Structure 1
């Protein structure tokens, strides 16, 4: 009496690999979605914190400086200090002049009683027409792009001094 128990195993070869590929694809998609949506949220929070810090820094600048000198000092501080927490790739996206104008906009508005400094950081979003601005490359699955990011802006204003 010779009983073979291997017949069941021979018919099941490769099922583990196929099941793993299905589960891996699902888990990778979820992981990619988490990472690709977390990075823009991180960038947005850093941008908000950076413009606030730059506006506060402007309060420590000599009020005798001209508007252009204040803008130069604040922009230099913004790139060197608060934005230093960003990886080089993110910093390059924000501070580069190519392919679009710089995303940093600083201006001083003069009124009758005070000067107002406004610091802005603009992120143009991620689109297929401008992939250089993408923080995380988009993953296209079945016609759905993950992530689809729109433009966002961080802005802070501060009154410098009485004139």
Structure 2
């Protein structure tokens, strides 16, 4: 074929770009959705670990000789967790029932158990053909910190 002359069969290549775009778009979208859908639970886990650690850290500053020591420590720990998790949007339904502080036998235990079913309201789960459900999360995101006084 001479240079500069149009091809005899230009229509054979007409849909190739659309097919290639569709195949590449699906792969890139799956990777992007995976990054977004796993980064949010990881961010929440980091926040939960920080909140529980900060709660027990601040509870250690309470004088053990004070009146109602156990109640004071538990209330302080709960308020610290609440303050540390204020950044979580209301759409995520993070509530006071998702965390607890218990002081028994000289041990303060601060725990957060956030059901991932609440996350699916914000971040829907996709089922990819080979990979499976994305994000594939446990039933609860849990963080636990404790200290013995």
Q: Conserved in 2, the CA contact under 8 Å of 1:94 and 1:104?
A: no
User: Is the deviation greater in 68-77 or in 47-56?
Assistant: 68-77
What TM-score do you get using the length of structure 2 for normalisation?
Answer: 0.77
Name stretches of at least 5 consecutive residues in structure 1 with no aligned partner.
Answer: 97-101, 126-130
1:24-63 paired onto structure 2 within 5 Å: 24-63=25-64
What TM-score do you get using the length of structure 1 for normalisation?
Answer: 0.72
The root-mean-square deviation of aligned C-alpha atoms, in Å, is 2.6
Aligned residues: 141
The alpha carbon displacement at 1:65 in A equals 4.5
1:46-75 CA-to-partner distances (Å, cap 9, x unmatched) read 211210011001122344152233322221
Confirm whether residue 20 of structure 1 aligns to residue 40 of structure 2. Answer: no
Correspondence for 1:99: none
Change (3 A) 1:7 1:62: farther
1:117-132 paired onto structure 2 within 5 Å: 117-125=108-116, 131-132=117-118
SS at match of 1:5: coil
1:61-93 CA-to-partner distances (Å, cap 9, x unmatched) read 34415223332222112111x224x43157x44
SS at match of 1:71: helix
Report the Cα distance in structure 1 between the residues aligned to 2:114 and 2:146, rounded to whole angstroms.
Answer: 18
SS at match of 1:94: coil
Report the Cα distance in structure 2 between the residues aligned to 1:136 and 1:56, rounded to whole angstroms.
Answer: 33
Correspondence for 1:142: 129
Correspondence for 1:72: 75
The alpha carbon displacement at 1:132 in A equals 2.6
1:96-145 CA-to-partner distances (Å, cap 9, x unmatched) read 5xxxxx120111113xxxx32110011333xxxxx434363211223821
Correspondence for 1:156: 145
Q: Conserved in 1, the CA contact under 8 Å of 2:54 and 2:80?
A: no
The alpha carbon displacement at 1:37 in A equals 2.1
Runs of 4+ in 1 over 6 A off after TM superposition: none
